[in-house]
């Protein structure tokens, strides 16, 4: 049995409103869970003699939650990046058979061990920057075998690494070349063959669709949502990234967990999200990387109290990004999000976007002891610094799983 430990000489952001912050806090961890948390001066006498971990006056936050990633894929698209720098748009490259489809070719050609190694490398970078929970989508296989391979790797990452992984089936990410000109037939394949088989194997926690001019239309999206519903799975959507196609409103009818990207979302869509209790997942890495100029509608999201989450969207085409602290910086500078909004967006709201608000993103008595320790004097430093490693320690289930020695 592991003896309880008291973590002290720390300041705490437990997740949620900033008013919940506790300066000079203490936390008692027992059996991987928080047994007690509060102001150090109120520590119950029964804990006074426990072994101590001194955090040197650092800030503690919940382990960060990256609620939208395409972590498992073969290769990268640095070459395509060069093309885009020479003036070819993301959409044009996609229409020419590059873009997502070039990563599909690379992912199909890489075996499970290779995909695992490549993804593990990216995952280690995320972990060193405070992440303890992440979502991983499929979507670069676009045929049963290859989608299975990606999801199996995602599950395995969650068993080998000290992170909790939630998987999302994104079979409707792009039209595979075998189905050229037959998008409806591919959606049949997604709904009737791929989804049932992958669900049977326990590989799917949620279902996503790329609803866009270069993705799938509303009717096709709806068919995928209906299939997900038949399997009792929650849905989410990549929507309004390049145009306002109404995907978010449709997703609201299916009580989606989240709609993600949202640069072109209109106010009606925001109202629908609020009514359906959805989370808006904003992805400033993709916005930045494809040099989008229209930011998501923050004013409407605030006006209608739609919770905002932030995620890396880690993917080889539009967001080769593994740092949530960097995402926080971009959310501040590119979208004008405030420090309290940003902190909620990578903790409680991101957990909610995964349908796991009861489990992750918040530190309280009884919860799992998943937290990150930051070498900062003020929480505003998290979105402030760029490229500086601030995460000093990551603790999962009470156990230190990453430790960087600094002053
Ligand atoms: O989230 N929107 C589609 N999926 C990814 C892009 C994937 C890619 O270009 O490989 C995204 O931006
Ligand atoms: Fe994405």
Atom of ligand 1 at shortest distance to CA of 313?
1
* C-alpha 284 chain-centroid distance: 12
Pairing of strands 164-172, 206-211: parallel
pLDDT higher than threshold 80 for residue 2: no
For residue 285 and ligand 1, the question of a CB distance below 6 A is answered with no
For residue 93 and ligand 1, the question of a CB distance below 6 A is answered with no
Phi and psi for 373 in degrees, rounded to 5? -110, 130
For residue 313 and ligand 1, the question of a CB distance below 6 A is answered with yes
Number of Cβ within 10 Å of residue 351's Cβ equals 25
Which pLDDT does position 298 carry in this prediction?
98
Torsion over CA: 13, 19, 25, 26 (sign): negative
Residue partners of 405: CB distance under 8 A and separation at least 6: none
Which pLDDT does position 214 carry in this prediction?
87
Say which DSSP state 319 is in: B
- Answer whether 14's CB lies under 8 Å from 364's CB: yes
Say which DSSP state 304 is in: T
For residue 317 and ligand 1, the question of a CB distance below 6 A is answered with yes
Mean pLDDT of 342-363: 98
* C-alpha 339 chain-centroid distance: 19
| pLDDT tens-place string over residues 324-344 | 999 999 999 999 999 999 999
Which pLDDT does position 186 carry in this prediction?
98
pLDDT higher than threshold 80 for residue 153: yes
Residue identifier of the C-alpha nearest atom 3 of ligand 1: 210
For residue 172 and ligand 1, the question of a CB distance below 6 A is answered with no
- Answer whether 328's CB lies under 8 Å from 61's CB: no
Residue identifier of the C-alpha nearest atom 8 of ligand 1: 317
For residue 325 and ligand 1, the question of a CB distance below 6 A is answered with no
Torsion over CA: 116, 120, 123, 127 (sign): positive
Closest residue by Cα to residue 319 from 288, 347, 358: 288
What is the Cα–Cα distance from 315 to 370, expressed in whole angstroms?
25
| pLDDT tens-place string over residues 80-96 | 999 989 999 878 998 88
What is the Cα–Cα distance from 81 to 60, expressed in whole angstroms?
37
| pLDDT tens-place string over residues 159-213 | 999 999 999 999 999 999 999 999 999 999 999 999 999 999 999 999 999 999 8
**Helices 144-160 + 100-108 axis angle, to 10:** 80
Which pLDDT does position 96 carry in this prediction?
84
The pair of three-digit structure tokens given for residue 96, joined into one six-digit string: 């020419």
Q: Which ligand is nearest to the CA of 91?
A: 1
| pLDDT tens-place string over residues 115-139 | 999 999 999 999 999 999 999 999 9
Phi and psi for 127 in degrees, rounded to 5? -60, -40
For residue 329 and ligand 1, the question of a CB distance below 6 A is answered with no
- Answer whether 57's CB lies under 8 Å from 26's CB: no
Which pLDDT does position 89 carry in this prediction?
87
Number of Cβ within 10 Å of residue 291's Cβ equals 10
| Backbone conformation region of residue 5, classed left if phi is above 0, alpha if psi is from -120 to 50, else beta | beta
With 0.85 as the threshold, say if the pTM is over it.
yes
Confidence band for 361, pLDDT divided at 50, 70 and 90: very high
The pair of three-digit structure tokens given for residue 362, joined into one six-digit string: 């918040």
Number of Cβ within 10 Å of residue 361's Cβ equals 31
**CA-angle at 388, arms to 333 and 137, nearest 5°:** 70
SS3 371: strand
- The beta-strand segments (E) located in 31-163 are 33-39, 51-62, 64-66, 131-137
Pairing of strands 235-239, 5-12: unpaired
| pLDDT tens-place string over residues 28-74 | 999 999 999 999 999 999 998 999 999 999 999 999 999 999 999 99
- Residue 337 CA to ligand 2 centre (angstroms): 20
Closest residue by Cα to residue 103 from 128, 136, 138: 138
The pair of three-digit structure tokens given for residue 1, joined into one six-digit string: 């049995």
pLDDT higher than threshold 60 for residue 1: no
| pLDDT tens-place string over residues 225-269 | 999 999 999 999 999 999 999 999 999 999 999 999 999 999 999
- Residue 28 CA to ligand 1 centre (angstroms): 41
The pair of three-digit structure tokens given for residue 294, joined into one six-digit string: 């229209």
What is the Cα–Cα distance from 232 to 73, expressed in whole angstroms?
27
**CA-angle at 179, arms to 176 and 180, nearest 5°:** 90
For residue 318 and ligand 1, the question of a CB distance below 6 A is answered with yes
- Residue 70 CA to ligand 2 centre (angstroms): 6
Element (H or E) spanning 189, and its range? helix 183-189
């Amino acid at each position: 049995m592991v003896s309880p430990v008291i973590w002290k000489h720390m300041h705490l952001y437990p997740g949620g409103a900033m008013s919940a912050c506790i300066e000079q806090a203490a936390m008692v961890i027992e059996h991987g869970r928080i047994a007690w948390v509060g102001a150090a001066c109120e520590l119950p006498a029964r804990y006074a003699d426990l072994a101590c971990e001194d955090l040197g006056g650092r800030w503690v936050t919940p382990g960060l939650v990256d609620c939208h990633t395409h972590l498992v894929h073969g290769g990268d698209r640095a070459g395509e990046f060069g093309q885009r720098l020479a003036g070819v748009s993301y959409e044009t490259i996609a229409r020419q058979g590059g873009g997502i489809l070039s990563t599909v070719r690379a992912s199909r050609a890489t075996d499970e061990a290779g995909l695992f190694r490549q993804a593990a490398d990216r995952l280690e970078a995320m972990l060193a920057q405070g992440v303890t929970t992440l979502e991983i989508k499929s979507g670069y296989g676009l045929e049963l075998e290859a989608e299975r391979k990606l999801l199996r790797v995602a599950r395995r990452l969650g068993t080998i690494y000290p992170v909790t992984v939630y998987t999302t089936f994104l079979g409707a990410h792009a039209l595979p070349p075998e189905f050229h000109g037959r998008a409806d037939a591919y959606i049949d394949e997604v709904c009737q063959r791929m989804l049932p088989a992958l669900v049977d194997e326990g590989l799917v926690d949620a279902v996503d669709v790329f609803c866009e001019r270069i993705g799938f239309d509303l009717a096709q999206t709806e068919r995928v949502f209906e299939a997900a519903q038949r399997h009792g799975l929650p849905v989410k959507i990549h929507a309004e990234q390049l145009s306002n196609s109404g995907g978010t409103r449709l997703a609201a009818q299916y009580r989606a967990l989240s709609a993600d990207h949202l640069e072109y979302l209109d106010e009606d869509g925001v109202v629908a999200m609020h009514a359906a209790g959805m989370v808006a997942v904003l992805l400033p890495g993709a916005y930045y990387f494809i040099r989008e100029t229209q930011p998501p509608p923050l004013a409407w999201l605030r006006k209608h109290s739609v919770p905002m989450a932030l995620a890396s969207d880690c993917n080889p085409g539009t967001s080769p990004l593994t740092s949530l602290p960097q995402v926080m910086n971009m959310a501040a500078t590119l979208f004008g999000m405030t420090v309290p909004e940003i902190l909620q967006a990578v903790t409680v709201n991101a957990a909610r976007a995964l349908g796991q608000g009861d489990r992750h993103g918040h530190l309280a008595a009884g919860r799992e002891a998943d937290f990150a320790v930051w070498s900062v004097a003020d929480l505003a430093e998290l979105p402030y610094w760029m490229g500086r490693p601030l995460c000093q320690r990551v603790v999962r289930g009470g156990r230190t799983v990453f430790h960087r020695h600094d002053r």
